[in-house]
């Protein structure tokens, strides 16, 4: 495959989601990613979901998704022997993706760069590499809470709603992959590597910027508003067989006509402010107009008139999506233990380059292949 980063050697010592997703993006685009796991394996191997809800380290859906297109080796970096093998591996590596394993092993970037000046170290952390929270741990609940996202999710007067599993870590992984690519280009041009720092905190703030910018400019802490984001014109509304998301502030009149209720853009609903003032009544009338329409009807009719309405898709909806089917976005990967696994396609494609997802490695599957020569070098 003529991938965008074909032949680039990447060492991945990170676990769970953020670092492995960075490695996946590079590996699916042609990089030679060597995943270095501790003897128990990556944490993601224990998290599932598992077929039949039966835990198995080689059948975790999360692990299988995040670790395509990698070779897998086992190294216990807490031992001097394996830490030395890692140092030898790093002599010929272009990128290292780490989330703290190197620091715990006493391996510093300066030490790696002394042997390999071009090397790029991507350091993923929860709250950053320095500061009072540098040593704190984080899960997605904490990420949502400390960035203000959770304060705005859910119905007013009720507990917050969980925005979704691991979203902040995926975004951090995307930023890490982009940072690694830019640092690689710099190293190719100058011969000089560098450290790239990505924190999950910063990544989460970047995707939920509305809460922080609102507070920064107005001092307001936004409260939960349920399905409404900005009145009815920006909201989630039910149809006969599901829900649609409306973003129709600028096209309200056209939207009202399309759903067969042009009177909803007149009189007490004629202006954005009037629609905000009468939001409860307006929402009742909008729901009555949508009650006998399917999601597909509403979306197709609105899009035909350039009105921004989209379906709120379930997992089943996504799997049978005509759009994804026409693009051939889903792909099957044949894994030696898990069998045929349906995988999502790339989040982006580079038009001049290939893309392919190979199966995730078994624990230690490529240890002899990758480490054999180095072990002989040490022995001699």
User: Can you give the residue ranges of every domain in the chain?
Assistant: 9-207+328-379, 228-238+243-311
- Give me the pLDDT at residue 167, please: 92
Tens digit of each residue's pLDDT (9 = 90 or more) over 90-113: 999 999 999 999 999 999 999 999
pLDDT, tens digit (0-9, with 9 covering 90-100), for 330-378: 999 999 999 999 999 998 888 888 899 999 999 999 999 999 988 888 8
Listed in order, strand segments (DSSP E) in the chain are 9-12, 32-37, 70-74, 95-98, 120-125, 195-199, 228-230, 234-238, 243-247, 309-311, 331-335, 339-343
Q: Inform me whether the pLDDT recorded for 257 exceeds 80.
A: yes
In this predicted structure, the answer to whether residue 287 has a pLDDT above a threshold of 70 is yes
Handedness of CA 210, 213, 214, 220 (dihedral sign): positive
pLDDT value of residue 280: 93
* Residue 64 buriedness (CB in 10 A; 0-12 / 13-18 / 19+): buried
Answer yes or no: is pLDDT of 153 > 70.
yes
What confidence tens digit (pLDDT) does each residue in 39-74 have? 999 999 999 899 999 999 999 999 999 999 999 999
The mean of the pLDDT values for the chain is: 93
Decide which of 3.30.1490.100, 3.40.50.10540, 3.60.10.10, 3.90.199.10 is the CATH code for 9-207+328-379: 3.40.50.10540
Question: How is domain 228-238+243-311 classified at the architecture level of CATH?
Answer: 2-Layer Sandwich (3.30)
Residue among 277, 228, 283, 276 nearest 259 (CA): 283
Over residues 17-45, the pLDDT tens digits come to 999 999 999 999 999 999 999 999 999 99
Q: What is the pTM of this model?
A: 0.92
Lowest mean pLDDT among 6-15, 102-111, 116-125, 162-171: 162-171
pLDDT (0 to 100) of residue 229: 77
Tell whether the model's pLDDT for residue 1 goes beyond 60. no
Pairwise CA distance, residues 143 & 166, whole Å: 9
Tell me, what's the pLDDT at 161? 86
Q: What percent of the chain has a predicted confidence (pLDDT) above 90?
A: 77
Q: What is the pLDDT of residue 358?
A: 94
Same fold, 9-207+328-379 and 228-238+243-311: no
Using pLDDT thresholds of 50, 70 and 90, give the confidence band for residue 221: confident
Residue 218 has pLDDT above 60, yes or no: yes
């Amino acid at each position: 495959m003529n991938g965008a980063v074909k032949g680039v050697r990447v060492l991945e010592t990170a676990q769970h989601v953020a670092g492995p997703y960075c490695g996946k993006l590079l590996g699916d685009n042609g990089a030679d990613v060597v995943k270095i796991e501790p003897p128990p394996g990556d944490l993601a191997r224990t998290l599932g979901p598992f077929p039949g809800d039966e835990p198995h380290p080689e059948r975790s859906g999360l692990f299988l998704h995040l670790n395509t297109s990698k070779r897998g080796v086992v190294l216990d970096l807490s031992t001097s022997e394996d830490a030395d093998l890692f140092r030898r591996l790093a002599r010929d590596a272009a990128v290292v993706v780490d989330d703290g394993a190197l620091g715990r092993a006493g391996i510093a970037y300066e030490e790696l760069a002394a042997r390999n000046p071009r090397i790029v170290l991507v350091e993923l952390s929860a709250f950053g590499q320095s500061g009072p929270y540098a040593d704190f741990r984080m899960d997605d609940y904490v990420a949502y809470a400390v960035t203000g996202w959770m304060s705005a999710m859910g119905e007013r007067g009720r507990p917050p709603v969980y925005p979704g599993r691991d979203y902040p870590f995926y975004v951090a992984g995307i930023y890490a992959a982009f940072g690694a690519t830019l640092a690689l280009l710099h190293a190719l041009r100058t011969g000089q590597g560098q450290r790239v720092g990505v924190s999950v905190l910063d990544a989460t703030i970047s995707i939920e910027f509305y809460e922080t910018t609102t507070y920064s400019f107005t001092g307001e802490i936004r409260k939960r508003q349920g399905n409404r984001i900005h009145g009815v014109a920006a909201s989630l509304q039910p149809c006969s067989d599901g829900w649609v998301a409306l973003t129709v502030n600028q096209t309200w009149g056209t939207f009202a006509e399309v759903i067969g209720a042009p009177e909803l853009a007149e009189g007490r609903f004629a202006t954005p402010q009037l629609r905000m003032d009468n939001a409860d009544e307006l929402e009742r009338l909008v729901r009555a107009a949508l009650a006998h329409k399917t999601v597909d009807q509403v979306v197709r009719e609105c899009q035909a008139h350039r009105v921004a309405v989209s379906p709120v898709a379930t997992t089943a909806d996504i799997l049978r999506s005509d759009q994804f089917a026409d693009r051939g976005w889903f792909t099957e990967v044949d894994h030696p233990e898990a069998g045929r696994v349906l995988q999502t396609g790339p989040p982006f494609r580079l038009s001049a380059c290939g893309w392919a997802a190979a199966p995730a490695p078994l624990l230690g599957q490529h240890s002899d292949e990758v480490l054999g020569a180095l072990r002989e070098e040490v022995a001699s």
